Amino acid sequence: MTSSLTNNSRDFIGYANRPPAVAWPGEARVAVSFVLNFEEGAEFSVADGDARNESVYEVIDPRTGWDPCIDSHFEYGTRAAWWRIAELFDRHRAPMTVSACGRAVARSPWLAQDAVARGHEVSAHGWRWESHAGMAPAQEAAAMDTCMAAIEAACGRRPVGWHTRSACTPNTRALLAERGFLYDSDAYNDDLPFFVPVAGRPHLVLPYAFDTNDMQFQHTQRFATAAQFAEYVCDAFDWLHDEGATRPRMMSVGLHLRMIGRPARMKALALILEHLRRRSGAWIATREQIARHWLAHAPRPDAAATPAG
């Protein structure tokens, strides 16, 4: 069981090296979650009437007006990258979670629909591609509702998972619980799902990761080649695989259409998928599948005494 976690306290203990004895399906040692972020069309762009352009990308010459350069970089994700990524996952019969901004889905509903048709989960990544830090409760609730409505309109089903870009607010989890979300991924502090108390009930968190993430191609240039990224992710899996002999483990691999979908980086994704199949012991699953399995098999703490959110 995890220790209590509230808005005003931090949990430095977690499972204290005594995680629940949850067995993954098929005697797998590691639950592997590929998360493909779908943000194209939800980023800030003067062309869309925003006051500024998105600044997080490879473009290094900011413009105060319309910036067709950065706009076209984002468009690459839907025009070219989606198809090669989706086809690679098809070849490996591997499901993934498409973490989608609502406005991206509203502008390109065909992509979310194609993802569902291929057996992938479409989860919620906010209405816009923006941090929620500083949002008032009513503003955040409206962003959630608009995002959910866009995904449901395109996919015929409400999303059950949520991930905020950057920082969430003290109200995020309470608002998610009110809306019946199954899980959120607004944490980076563990290699396993865990529960936190929200409004007197246990709420499930599936931690995410920024190191096994293609964002490092741009944000830090930690990875210069596909081989470097593949080696890093495979090394992470191998270590967790060894630990998984005695305890359950989970690994998240963060991807972005416009980043991993470039031809020179696609080989990394192919190498990772091939490594997982060759080593065995990996349960490649959507985050919804992992969440439902954890909810069905992990003991839930008594959250009634420590509300959060």
pLDDT at 36 over 80: yes
pLDDT at 61: 63
**pLDDT tens, position by position, 63-114:** 778 888 788 889 999 999 999 999 999 999 999 999 999 999 999 999 999 9
Ranges assigned E (strand) in the chain:
30-38, 97-100, 121-124, 161-162, 183-184, 194-198, 201-205, 249-256, 282-284
Average pLDDT over the chain, rounded to an integer: 91
The average pLDDT across 136-164 equals 97
C-alpha pair distances (Å), 206 with each of 35, 107, 288: 12, 28, 10
DSSP 8-state symbol, 57: S
| pLDDT the model gives residue 100 | 98
What's the rounded mean pLDDT across residues 180-195?
Answer: 97
- pLDDT, tens digit, 9 for 90 and up, residues 253-263: 999 999 999 99
- Distance CA(37)–CA(202), nearest Å, equals 27
H or E element in which residue 69 lies: helix 68-76
Q: Which long-range contacts (CB under 8 A, 24 or more apart) does 184-192 make?
A: 185/35, 185/99, 185/161, 185/252, 185/287, 186/162, 189/11, 189/14, 190/14, 190/15, 191/240, 191/249, 191/250, 191/251, 192/15, 192/19, 192/248, 192/249, 192/250
Domains of the chain: which residue ranges? 25-297
pTM beyond 0.95, yes or no: no
Give me the amino acid identity at 78.
Answer: T
Token representation of residue 37: 């972020």
7 falls in which pLDDT band (50, 70, 90)?
low
For residue 202, CA distances in Å to 141, 163, 182, 188, 189 come to: 20, 18, 11, 18, 18
Please give the pLDDT value at position 309. 39
- Of the ranges 57-61, 72-76, 194-198, 277-281, which one carries the lowest mean pLDDT score? 57-61
Model confidence at 307, in pLDDT bands (50, 70, 90)? very low
Position 1 pLDDT exceeds 60: no
* Residue 103, pLDDT score: 97
Q: Maximum Cα–Cα distance for the chain, whole Å?
A: 56
Q: Could you tell me the pLDDT band of residue 5, with boundaries at 50, 70 and 90?
A: very low
Whether the per-residue pLDDT at 305 is higher than 50: the answer is no
Crossing angle between the packed helical segments 82-91 and 109-117, to the nearest 10 degrees: 0
Q: Quick one: CATH architecture of 25-297?
A: Alpha-Beta Barrel (3.20)
CB distance 156 to 121 below 8 Å? no
Contact 284, 24 (CB under 8 A): no
Res 308: pLDDT = 40
User: Of 290, 147, 144, whose CA–CA distance to 205 is shortest?
Assistant: 290
Q: Which amino acid would we find at residue 51?
A: A
Which pLDDT does position 219 carry in this prediction? 67
User: What is residue 306's predicted lDDT score, i.e. its pLDDT?
Assistant: 41
Check if the beta carbon of residue 197 is closer than 8 Å to that of residue 301.
yes
Angle between helices 82-91 and 263-279 (to 10 degrees): 20
Q: At what angle do helices 263-279 and 226-243 cross, to 10 degrees?
A: 20
Closest CA to 100 of 115, 119, 87: 115
Residue 59 CA to its chain's centroid (Å): 24
pLDDT digits (tens, 9 = 90+) for 51-65: 888 876 665 666 778
